[in-house]
Amino acid sequence: MDNLKFLLGKLKEAEEYEHASKIIEFDMETKTPAKGLKAQGELQSLLANKAYEITHSKEFVDCVVALHKELDSLETEAKVLVSKLYKDIERNKNISPELNLEFSNIENEAFANWVEAKKDADFTKFAPSLAKIKDMEFKKIALNESAVDVAYDNLLDIYEPGMTSAKLDELFGECKESLIPLLEKIKAAKKPIRTDFTTRKVKDYQQEEFMKFLLETLGFDFNRGTYALSEHPFTELVGRNDERVTTHFYEDNLFSSMYSVIHECGHALFDLSTPDKDWDYYLFDYKSMGQHESVSRFYENIIGRSENFIAAIYDRMQDIFPEALKGVSKTEIFDYVNQVQPSLVRTEADEFTYTFHIIIRYEIEKEIMEGKLDIADVPKAWAKKYKSYLGVTPTNDTLGCLQDVHWTSGFGYFPTYALGNFYNSMYYNKMKEEIDVADAIRTGHMDTINKWMFENVWKDADKLDSSDWIKQITARELTSKDFLEYIENKYGMLYGL
């Protein structure tokens, strides 16, 4: 008990530094002027490194090792905490606080360079930073005594413990086999979809009102969360009762922010539903990214793009956007938000083609880590894959390989977006067996859905690896089958195939 009390005390101390670090990080993404990013980044790195020093000190490590030898005597939450900390220590024990600070500075420099490169549509301004990121990843792997032989699998394990590139190759291979020919059928169907209203001008204040309405509708707690604008929409869990979501407004595309908000709200609902005991044992940040993306994409797509959801919010949309949506029916909005239209930008991609954006990024990351692709050739490889899979080619680097911020902090994250689709399609089928999902959406009873999500999807997520988690929810192993059936049924009906 003394060891556990000491451990929890040290984690509280580290979390206070992390809390401050996250506030600065959020500020960097939302309000910090371009010339202030470097100084803010250095301060953020300093605070984050203070937390790292605490959780990698000899006394902390010795405490975790001692508790790990007594796992069977600990209650569930403490047992999970010690097991996860022990794994992290084994992975990072050879990374000194000084080296960790160096890595953090590399990432912050990469972020600043990415911002400039994206603004100027010039990959060469980001390429040196991406090369440093690659070298950093290999250095971390070399220092990890428990690293596996496949370099990329070590990166995957950070975001999705237990996942391998061999499994991803299998899942993504099934997707390509099914979706590529289906995409050609959809293109040939030539279904008329009205789009003239989608670029009508809307004001920022209208979009803000709509954002608040969407968050309220989905069950976001404004007493424990807030929102802001950022270049790249994201969600940040700052503290126990401090969840922050962001979006980006476009005056000629209200649907961009709409689905960013719904997506980020999914992340927020997941975080805010962390059980109190998990908070007490500092287990609030152990959800895998696949688990997290499953929830955000469940709300964004399975709920947010459903005919019932559009019907439920239609009248309010008309109230907020009377000019932009004048003469536009529910069916026309539903058809548009589900239109299959191969495009260049992942965050603007339709539900159907989105998976290809992830597959492309995964394949490029893996080729970089395998030494099959030079950093300088990334734009060329990117364009080639987009042309091959989606039939579109970026006209500049901003619309191509510079569009996402994720590579400023390393590789291995992107596949979790697609894994999220596989997971949520599986538990969506389970949910439909137990509650009337369509009626709950149509009648605005999101609390019914959120309650089911808490009991089945959310409450144990921090305590279980993804493979055990999805099996506990559905009594089945991870598969792409449910997702592919969902896509084939939905879009086969929409396009009359």
**Collapsed DSSP state (helix, strand, coil) of residue 152:** helix
Quote the radius of gyration of the chain (alpha carbons, Å).
23
Secondary-structure breakdown of the chain: helix, strand, coil percentages, each rounded to the nearest 5? 70, 5, 30
Residues contributing to the annotated binding site for Zn(2+): 263, 267, 293
Q: Are strands 242-247 and 225-229 parallel, antiparallel or unpaired?
A: parallel
**Collapsed DSSP state (helix, strand, coil) of residue 269:** helix
Other CB atoms closer than 10 Å to residue 93's CB: what's the count?
Answer: 14
Q: Are strands 225-229 and 235-239 parallel, antiparallel or unpaired?
A: unpaired
Alpha helices in 33-121 (DSSP H): 37-55, 58-68, 76-92, 97-120
Give the residue from 264, 262, 164 showing the smallest Cα distance to 466. Answer: 164
Residues contributing to the annotated binding site: 263, 267, 293
Beta strands in 321-425 (DSSP E): none
Locate 200 and state its tokens.
């009508």
- CA-CA distance, 97 to 100, in Å (whole number)? 5
Q: What is the largest CA-CA distance in the chain?
A: 69
Q: Are strands 242-247 and 235-239 parallel, antiparallel or unpaired?
A: antiparallel
- CA-CA distance, 263 to 266, in Å (whole number)? 5
How many CA atoms are closer than 13 Å to the CA of 382, on its beta-carbon side? 25
Per the listing, tokens 């080619």 go with: 393
Locate 304 and state its tokens.
């947010």
**How far is residue 212 CA from its own chain's centroid?**
21
- CA-CA distance, 216 to 155, in Å (whole number)? 36
The catalytically annotated residue of 160, 264, 300, 332 is: 264
- CA-CA distance, 140 to 150, in Å (whole number)? 14
Q: Where does residue 153 rank: exposed (0-12), middle (13-18), buried (19+ CB within 10 A)?
A: buried
The answer to whether 423 touches 296, Cβ cutoff 8 Å, is no
Per the listing, tokens 């020093």 go with: 53
| DSSP secondary structure letters along 185-240 | HHHHH------GGGGS---HHHHHHHHHHHHHHHT--TTTEEEEE-SS--EEEEET
109 as an active site residue: the answer is no
The answer to whether 338 touches 350, Cβ cutoff 8 Å, is yes
- CA-CA distance, 448 to 137, in Å (whole number)? 43
Active site positions, annotated: 264
